[in-house]
Chain A
Amino acid sequence: MVELVPNLLRQEMARLAEQDARIDGRGQFEGREITLETDCLYNAEGSAKVTMGKTVVYAGVKFEIRTPWPDRPSEGSLMCGAELRPVAHRKYEPGPPSPESIELGRVVDRGIRESGCIDMNSLCIIPGEKVWGVMIDIHVLSDGGNIFDACGLAAIAALRTAIVPAERFDVGDDYTLSVNGTPIMASFTRVGGRYVYDPCEEEELGGDERIHITIGDEGHLHSLQKGLRGVFTPQEFAEIFSVAQNKCAELRKIVAKKEAN
């Protein structure tokens, strides 16, 4: 369903931006309150639930045993997919995966994969014969804006709690999946002419292009994505990149705090 963008909403966004204000009262780079739960789903080998404002997202990790690729006999695989099902918002319709949900899954996938937090060689069971395939499925239940960050956070938090179900597959004892890093995504949308962090639903509806930045523990970039119609300058990017560094470090602490409990 194509949503109508009310001109009045766009005008209101421009007016608010002039006054350095946002429609829900936040500062330009202020995020919404986040809650993170882990180990919350019985059949998933790792799971997490993230709420950010009106956004609710679950991620679950499953494992399968597969034959390795012939050119990489000792490497397992990682796959991350997202579903934007009609449960999440009245704008989503049933049918095959939309371009939006494919983009979402792939951007989250790249951030985790390219951070190198999973050593693909550690997923080898018998070289050339059996390796683990790790699958992270993200399920958006309520889209209240900025599902990218919520999905990225749920995915890495679920992955970091995953237990490899070796006993069920008859290949040894269960063990905790080794995850060396916590890549975190920070997203910005142009609203009323300027970028804001963590856009809410109204800001996405009445805004323009968006930029997603995934940053690893060392402050390095691991994935970038510019989406929707619009252009930006290098100076604008430099500003949100430095904001993203701080936001990602804060979120990484939330994940670490959850794990320490």
Chain B
Amino acid sequence: MGGYGDVQLLRDDGLRLDGRKLDESRPVSIQAGILPAADGSAMVTHGLNVAVAAVYGPMEAHPRKIQRQDRAVIDVRYNMAPFSTSDRIRPGFNRRSREISKVTAEALESVVLVERFPRSKIRVEIEILAAEAGTRCAGITAASVALADAGIPMRDMIVGVASGKIEDTVVLDLDKAEDNYGQADLPAGILPNTGEIAFLQMDGDLSPEEFDLAMEYNFKAAKEIHEIMVDALKSRYEEGDN
């Protein structure tokens, strides 16, 4: 968190700079099955973020040393396109994308029925085409829809959501300014059907009460976004386009 306390992020009328209420998410839209070469795919537009996910597999796990005798491994790559940010990003993996890839893979392994596919690998490729705070959450949401689109069995989908704190106030779904100048960010991956949490990170400063409220907002957002995820998958099959 930047923690620049002198930047005004809440307006005098109590709304946020872009006119949102404290517990209001940015608009989310989702399309499933947008990449013909992949076994499953999805595009999530969350505010100005654009995240695309492609799923390949289950396929043979190689090199052989990554194989697990009793289950599939999920190989996630989160990558930001060079043109996705204000300053161009040099292509290639960096520490940030490696960490996000790791925790995303672990979250997805918690919901995919990996024991159904011993010794195999499921590849999940997350590409961020436009970034405006919250790309890891948009990526997790996209990956979940892409896995479902690929027909991979799961206990539940994961919805990527985030809350945070600006001007000592807990708010849902930080945008770029709020992320840069806010006091805390709490991204979570929520299983909407079971109410469990498969992914959690946080940085900044939150009291126990603030954490509870932020998670309450996260669960509320997860429920809303889950409906959009389900609709995206349903309309994919209504079109009959496999």
Contact = CB atoms under 8 A, between A and B. Distances in A.
Please determine whether chains A and B interact with each other in the same assembly.
yes
Interface residues of B, number: 33
Contacts of A55: 36-37
A62 B91 CA distance: 13
Contacts of B59: 90
Contact of B37 (A54, A61, A96, A97): A54
Contact of A135 (B79, B82, B86): B82
Nearest to B41: A142
B178 interface: no
Contacts of B35: 56, 87, 141-142
B136 interface: no
Given A42-B130, A42-B132, A87-B125, A142 B84 contact: no
Given A42-B132, A56-B34, A135-B88, A87 B54 contact: yes
Interface in A59-92: 60-62, 64, 81, 83, 85-90
A241 interface: no
Contacts, number: 102
Contacts of A44: 83-84, 130
A135 B85 CA distance: 13
A109 to B, nearest CB: 14
A87 B127 CA distance: 8
Interface in B47-95: 48, 50, 52, 54, 56-57, 59, 77, 79, 81-88, 91-93
For chain A, the bracket of interface size reads 20 to 34
Nearest to B37: A142
Contact of B127 (A85, A94, A97, A168): A85
A41 B36 contact: no
A198 interface: no
A56 B35 CA distance: 7
Contacts of B82: 60, 62, 81, 83, 135, 137, 139
6 contacts: A42-B132, A43-B131, A83-B91, A90-B123, A137-B88, A141-B54
Given A62-B87, A137-B81, A141-B54, 4 more contacts: A41-B129, A43-B85, A56-B34, A142-B38
Interface of A: 41-44, 47, 53-56, 58, 60-62, 64, 81, 83, 85-90, 94, 96-97, 135, 137, 139, 141-144, 168, 201
Interface of B: 34-38, 41, 48, 50, 52, 54, 56-57, 59, 77, 79, 81-88, 91-93, 123, 125, 127, 129-132
